[in-house]
Chains A and B, each alone.
Chain A
Amino acid sequence: MGSVGAKDVPELLDAHGKRIDGRGLHDLRPLKIEAGVLQRATGSAFVEWGENKVMAAVYGPREVHPRHMQQNTKAVVQCRYNMASFSVDERKRPGLDRRSQEISKVIGEALESVLFVEEFPKTSIGIYIEVLQANAGTRCAGLVAASVALADAGIPMSDLVPAVAVGKIAGKLALDLRKEEDNYGESDVPMALVPRSGRLVLLQMEGHMTRDELKTAMDMGVKGCEKIYEIQKAALRNRYSLGGNGGGEAQ
């Protein structure tokens, strides 16, 4: 995708089927989650996932601003996904571009699907995601962090929400794409799972896949999400166990 006019397309899979960073097709990048990292927020989490660094904070339930957005039957979920100008190779203009606004919308809707918003009418639950360093998969990293931050804030939810992307590189499906694989691969399917129901609350796709490839991609994504779920739970356990210093780690 976006490869029109690109010059040097890197070799995404070597002769032994290994990826650029040495991973196999079903391997996640190293993932570290820490809960409760910010003082002022109701809940927070920091995610280091491969070369991604993403911070999430949750505020609320609290009064709604602006007032007219208030809803009488449920809490309003206000989600903002933002990338720091220095988080990518070429400086990004600060502020929410259209991509960030779309991602804010789908992440907010994904998380609202597990929140008991009707328990908190006339309030707002603010979810703020800051991408500090980006290397593909930041919407999934943001969702993973935000979901832990919501739990850290003590907001009732039906489940944690792990998320990961599956893509197609050099004709093969691969879990958790890194930047080169995202830029030069053939497709990208980010998804977020509610493990207890087995249902997807975020699902996007761009590229080319047959029906059967998509089916396999979702299977791989669900398995990846189950691993991430364990790391999310470990992060919360560490945060709230006596003497714990708050971290969950992969591998």
Chain B
Amino acid sequence: MTNEVTTEILATHVLDLAKAGKRLDGRGLDELRPVRITPGYVTSADGSALVELGDTKVLCGVKLEPGTPFPDTPNAGVLTTNAEIVPLSSPEYEPGPPSIQSIELSRVVDRAIRAAEAIDLAKLCVTPGEKCWTCFVDLHVLDDSGNLTDAALLAAMSALKNAKLPGERFEIGPTVPLEVNHLPIETTFVRIGDALIVDPTCEEEDTCQGRLTIATDEAGNVVAMQKSMVGAFSPHDVIELVDRALVHGDRLRELINTTK
């Protein structure tokens, strides 16, 4: 958004709407945009999924390749998450080295997968200290219409759930489904004035006073959080948002589990 006057007018409008409990796109303050998951979208990947969260589109491709364990974790496979906010996704992004937004995005998604222990890395070890599976979770943001984080983790978990460990291709054993033990879901909220709204669009992210992402697992634990952007939340706000995140998380877990 380059035009400061339009931004200012829009910000005031978003704020006025929020005061009245309304939003630009007519949603309620605690209402997600429609979610559509297409598992197996890319057949050249070992696992993949396209997630559409309203107009936001994120594609995840999982690749599993033989590699070497890190010296400090000789008995574990390697998990790496990378997010690219490619220039086709928004007028805001330009070609060049990874932007700080894409670094934060991949780290916040990675943190949820890791903290929830979604993948048992010990099972990705082939020969301790010598050979293991490296699991690349690569996220491609195709259309940035806000709240990339939640869409990206949904895409990652859905892609991991349909991923196959390609043992035969690399002659390391049979090709078997990748085991996914836990299903973390991230729910992102922003503050607009005193209103705390879920699943923000770009316009809402541009005008917000703080963003909070909360990752929950199926047992009702909080496994990761990230407060981001300029702004603040009271501990009371945080607990209210955790309660809301748990409800959204359960619904989205159900959706991932039932989408074939």
Number of A-B contacts (CB under 8 A): 117
Given A102-B104, A109-B230, A214-B222: A4 touches B76 (CB 8 Å cut-off): yes
Tell me if A101 counts as interface (CB < 8 A to partner B).
Answer: yes
CB of B115 within 8 A of CB of A1, answer: yes
Complex Cα–Cα for A113 and B235 (A) = 16
Residues of A within 8 A of B221 (CB): 208-210
Residues of B within 8 A of A101 (CB): 100, 103
- Identify whether the interface residues of A are mostly helix, strand, loop, or mixed: mixed
Q: Across the two chains, which residue of chain B brings its CB closest to A201?
A: B232
Contact of B235 among A6, A109, A112, A218 (CB under 8 A): A218
CB distance from A181 to the nearest CB of B (A): 17
Complex Cα–Cα for A180 and B162 (A) = 37
Residues of B within 8 A of A204 (CB): 225-227
CB of A222 within 8 A of CB of B235, answer: yes
Tell me if B253 counts as interface (CB < 8 A to partner A).
Answer: no
User: Which listed segment binds B: A44-52, A57-65, A128-136, A192-200?
Assistant: A192-200
Beyond the given pairs A206-B111, A215-B235, 9 more chain A to chain B contacts, judged by CB atoms under 8 angstroms and listed by A's residue number, are A4-B73, A4-B76, A72-B4, A98-B103, A113-B231, A189-B225, A205-B222, A214-B242, A215-B239
CB distance from B51 to the nearest CB of A (A): 23
Residues of B within 8 A of A207 (CB): 115, 223-224
16 contacts between A and B (CB under 8 A): A5-B74, A98-B107, A101-B100, A187-B115, A194-B232, A199-B232, A200-B238, A201-B232, A203-B233, A203-B238, A206-B223, A208-B221, A211-B242, A211-B243, A211-B246, A222-B235
CB of A5 within 8 A of CB of B73, answer: yes
Complex Cα–Cα for A185 and B101 (A) = 29
In chain B, positions 212-240 with a C-beta closer than 8 Å to chain A are 212, 217, 220-235, 237-239
Complex Cα–Cα for A185 and B231 (A) = 29
CB of B246 within 8 A of CB of A219, answer: no
Complex Cα–Cα for A133 and B104 (A) = 25
CB of A199 within 8 A of CB of B233, answer: yes
Tell me if B75 counts as interface (CB < 8 A to partner A).
Answer: yes
Chain B residues near A (Cβ < 8 Å)? 4, 69, 72-76, 100, 103-104, 106-107, 111, 114-115, 121-122, 210, 212, 217, 220-235, 237-239, 242-243, 246
CB of A199 within 8 A of CB of B234, answer: yes
Chain A residues near B (Cβ < 8 Å)? 1-2, 4-6, 72-73, 98-99, 101-102, 104-106, 109-110, 112-113, 187, 189, 194, 197-211, 214-215, 218-219, 222
Given A5-B122, A101-B103: A198 touches B229 (CB 8 Å cut-off): no
Complex Cα–Cα for A231 and B144 (A) = 44
CB of B115 within 8 A of CB of A202, answer: no
Complex Cα–Cα for A26 and B234 (A) = 21
Q: Across the two chains, which residue of chain B brings its CB closest to A215?
A: B239
CB of B238 within 8 A of CB of A214, answer: yes
CB of B103 within 8 A of CB of A218, answer: no
CB of A102 within 8 A of CB of B115, answer: no
CB of B212 within 8 A of CB of A203, answer: yes
Complex Cα–Cα for A215 and B237 (A) = 11
CB distance from A220 to the nearest CB of B (A): 11
CB of B220 within 8 A of CB of A210, answer: yes
Residues of A within 8 A of B225 (CB): 189, 203-205
Residues of B within 8 A of A4 (CB): 73, 75-76, 121-122
CB of A109 within 8 A of CB of B73, answer: no
CB of B107 within 8 A of CB of A102, answer: yes
Complex Cα–Cα for A205 and B186 (A) = 13
Complex Cα–Cα for A219 and B236 (A) = 10
- Shortest Cβ-Cβ A-B pairs, 3 listed: A199-B232, A205-B225, A5-B75
Complex Cα–Cα for A191 and B75 (A) = 33
Residues of B within 8 A of A2 (CB): 73
Q: Across the two chains, which residue of chain B brings its CB closest to A217?
A: B235
CB of A208 within 8 A of CB of B73, answer: no
Residues of B within 8 A of A222 (CB): 235
Complex Cα–Cα for A32 and B114 (A) = 35
Contact of B234 among A72, A102, A198, A209 (CB under 8 A): A198
Complex Cα–Cα for A6 and B75 (A) = 9
Complex Cα–Cα for A133 and B114 (A) = 27
CB of A218 within 8 A of CB of B107, answer: no
Complex Cα–Cα for A169 and B103 (A) = 29
CB of B100 within 8 A of CB of A73, answer: no
Residues of A within 8 A of B73 (CB): 2, 4-6
Complex Cα–Cα for A109 and B205 (A) = 14
